[in-house]
Amino acid sequence: MARLLLHRLGGLVTTLLLSSVVIFGSLYLAPGSPENVLFGNRTPSAAARAAVRHRLHLDQPLPVRYWDWLTGVLHGDLGTSMVTGQPVADRVGSGLGTTALLVLFASLLVVVLGLGLGLLGAVRPGRLDGAVSAVSAVSVSVPPFVAATVLISVFAVRLGWLPASGRGNGLDGLVLPAVALALLSCGFLAQVTRNAVGEQLGREHVQTALARGLPRAAVLRSHVLRNALPPIVTAIGLLVAGMFASTLVVESAFALPGIGQLTIQSVAQKDFPVVQAVALLLVAAFVICNALSDLVQALIDPRLRTAGRTA
Amino acid sequence: MNPLLDLSGVTVTVPSAEGPRRLLDGIDLSLAPGEALGLVGESGSGKSMTMRAVTRLLPRGAAVSGAVRYDGAEVLAMDAGALRRYRDHEVGLVFQDPRAHINPTRRIGAFLVEALVRNRGVGKREALARAAAVLAEVGIDDPQRRLRQYPHEVSGGMLQRVMIASVLLAEPRLILADEPTTALDVTIQREVVTILDRLRRERGMGMVFITHDLDLALAVCGRVAVMYAGRIVEVRTAAGLHERAAHPYTLGLLGSRPSIDARSARLEAVPGRPIAAYEAGAGCAFAPRCLFAMEACDRTAPPLRAFDDGLVRCSRVEEIHAARTEATA
């Protein structure tokens, strides 16, 4: 188990390093240059342009800039925004709380509703299962940007129950965005859960447990659900990671001051240090979600614990 | 002596896309306390379904009629609580494939003690001590270490012993063993059967031993019931089966076994393929494959009736018997 943990940790660091190279490189190789954003419509003199490029370290070769940036990041310095001149850490930090809360909220919805509906469908075949299948089939076909539009028009504009944009009071402003974010994932998780639990219900070892006179609830808990967890955990890991990416759309739709909105703005303004930081953050969220789901699976299924040795 | 288990007219029907399908057709079977009965037949003849009917572990939507009496109590009428007590205390099931029938994600110790702890409130430590003792009884070395291992860390033969140990731990009066050795290597098969047979005798438990291996059934059981297409076609003592087998299907099974003494060039196969109960027509289910079948056999299904110290389901059994005796004389 410890070996697996180390193995995963090593993979995590490698992935982050590699993706930081890709992010850094792709931003600077893309057409357009940051100083043009600063100059706007004016055409600067060659000297002024050179001075600005020097101040932004744009006159140095790419590997050198990457190295400077990487050592800065490792020392906790994410650089300075080219647009506002604020430290990147401050800009990212102010949005991080909102985004983290939003994804947490949406994840809770996904786990509770998706898992609940899927379980219900699996253990109560017939009409209830049909209803669950129908609901989840509809919800997986509603992407977050559609859900956001519909939710805003119904609950914010027509009914006026919840704010259409901004944080609002307390969690008010997060309810609709979280639902918009969660809807597709809920349906997906319900389907995964229903199939995984349904498959386990038909397993021979479940029959053994029933043949030994164990109560149905105990059999469901310690045999069916426990063994059905690996695919469910994988799905949750992927879905939560995906929701971090979807915040780009949802936060823009609801004008939420989070990382997603910051990403869109910074890309539009070519504010490279900020884009680098948030992109790296998104990658980290992905990698961490996946690593966590792998570890949970190894905890559940002893047969997976040797993975680090054979891989 | 009152029978421990008594089945009469047990019929099981399951739903399918083409309408209800009959898998068991009026099973009559009786087992005395401490008796070992072999249930023999080809795949799909209804052996396992009979065992499932006895424990009410039937597929979803299955309809059962008839009576399954265990020690006088009607199993089919038990409520959920009574059924759980019956499954926990009275019958133990040994399945064919221990690898599939034991939860792979939990330790062997957890599997063994689960029923004791959950159903009977035995303390975990006490339960584990009992489990270790029973593992030693089924011939497993270093039981303490085995208790901590996972199913994928031990061999199939050992896992089947673990399965047997789990049944013995519950101290039932009836064991239902469904092809307990089919999934094992031939060399391991003998060990497992020997262990099962010894412990059953020592503890005076009744056993229904399901197998497609007629010789194995004859070696382990006092009495053998032969099944075909969801029906019992012949019941006879193991000692009498060789000499007195009377049903054409049983005769076919006896003729299709390889023999060590006679080096025959070919094994006699029963012609045709086995059918399921729902494929049988109004007449005798075996008639289409039977060498002795006449027109009447296709029309009316014969009952299971006494013949020559056994029970046989064949309209022409007297004639066939007479003809065979004449031929050998």
Residue range A54-95, pLDDT digits in tens: 877 777 888 888 888 888 888 878 888 877 888 888 888 888
Query: What residues of chain B lie within 8 A of the CB of A212, using their CB?
Result: 87-88, 114-115, 119, 166, 170
First to last CA, chain A: 14
- Measure the CA–CA gap between A136 and A114, rounded to whole angstroms: 9
pLDDT at position A85 = 80
* Three-state DSSP class for residue B40: strand
B118 interfacial to chain A (CB closer than 8 Å): yes
Least confident stretch, A76-80, B25-29, B103-107, B251-255 = A76-80
Instruction: Count other C-beta atoms under 10 Å from residue A221's C-beta.
Output: 11
Could you say which residues of chain A have pLDDT below 50?
307-311
- Measure the CA–CA gap between B36 and B220, rounded to whole angstroms: 7
Element at B62 (helix H, strand E): none
B78 interfacial to chain A (CB closer than 8 Å): no
The pLDDT of B37-66, averaged and rounded, is 91
CA atoms within 13 A on the CB side of B95: 23
Beta bridge partners of B236: B224
Q: Encode burial over B273-301: b for 16+ CB neighbours within 10 A, e otherwise.
A: ebbbbbebeebbbbbbbbebbeeebeeeb
Contact, B163 vs B106, CB < 8 A? no
Query: What residues of chain A lie within 8 A of the CB of B101, using their CB?
Result: 204-205, 207-208
Phi and psi angles of residue B27, each rounded to the nearest 5 degrees, phi first: -80, 125
Q: Assign domain B5-102+151-327 to a CATH class.
A: alpha beta
Task: Render pLDDT for A11-47 as a digit per residue (tens, 0 to 9).
Answer: 888 888 888 888 888 777 776 676 776 777 777 788 8
Amino acid at site B276: A
- Measure the CA–CA gap between A200 and A208, rounded to whole angstroms: 12
Q: At what angle do helices B124-137 and B108-120 cross, to 10 degrees?
A: 120
pLDDT above 70 coverage of chain A, percent: 95
Contact, B237 vs B214, CB < 8 A? no
- Measure the CA–CA gap between A208 and B176, rounded to whole angstroms: 12
Query: Pick the residue with more confidence: B161 or B261?
Result: B161
Contact, B215 vs B259, CB < 8 A? no
A76 interfacial to chain B (CB closer than 8 Å): no
Dihedral of the alpha carbons of A109, A115, A117, A120, in degrees to the nearest 10: -150
- Measure the CA–CA gap between A30 and A37, rounded to whole angstroms: 14
Contact, B256 vs B215, CB < 8 A? no
The answer to whether B84 contacts A218, with C-beta atoms less than 8 Å apart, is: no
Domain boundaries, chain B: 5-102+151-327
User: DSSP letter at A311?
Assistant: -
A1 interfacial to chain B (CB closer than 8 Å): no
- Measure the CA–CA gap between A260 and A266, rounded to whole angstroms: 10
> pLDDT band at residue B263, thresholds of 50, 70 and 90?
low
According to DSSP, the β-strands at B223-228 and B231-237 are antiparallel
Query: Pick the residue with more confidence: A72 or B237?
Result: B237
A166 interfacial to chain B (CB closer than 8 Å): no
Residue A8 C-alpha, separation from nearest chain B C-alpha, in angstroms = 21
Contact, A236 vs A189, CB < 8 A? yes
For chain B, positions 127-186, list CB contacts with chain A under 8 A.
150, 152, 166, 170
The answer to whether B87 contacts A211, with C-beta atoms less than 8 Å apart, is: yes
Q: Which domains does chain A have, with CATH numbers?
A: 88-305 (1.10.3720.10)
Burial class of residue B21, CB neighbours in 10 A (0-12, 13-18, 19+): middle
Nearest to A213 among B87, B103, B166 (CB): B87
- Measure the CA–CA gap between A252 and A88, rounded to whole angstroms: 20
| Interface residue of A200, A210, A212 to substitute, partner B, most B CBs within 10 Å | A212
Max CA pair span of chain B: 67
Among A12, A142, B238, A227, residue whose Cα is nearest residue B226:
B238
* Three-state DSSP class for residue A81: coil
Among A192, A178, A162, A166, residue whose Cα is nearest residue A104:
A178
User: DSSP letter at A166?
Assistant: S
pLDDT at position A195 = 92
Contact, A46 vs A284, CB < 8 A? no
Query: What residues of chain A lie within 8 A of the CB of B170, using their CB?
Result: 212
A124 interfacial to chain B (CB closer than 8 Å): no
| pTM over 0.90, yes/no | no
pLDDT at position B243 = 84
The pLDDT of B242-254, averaged and rounded, is 87
Among B324, B260, B254, residue whose Cα is nearest residue B292:
B324
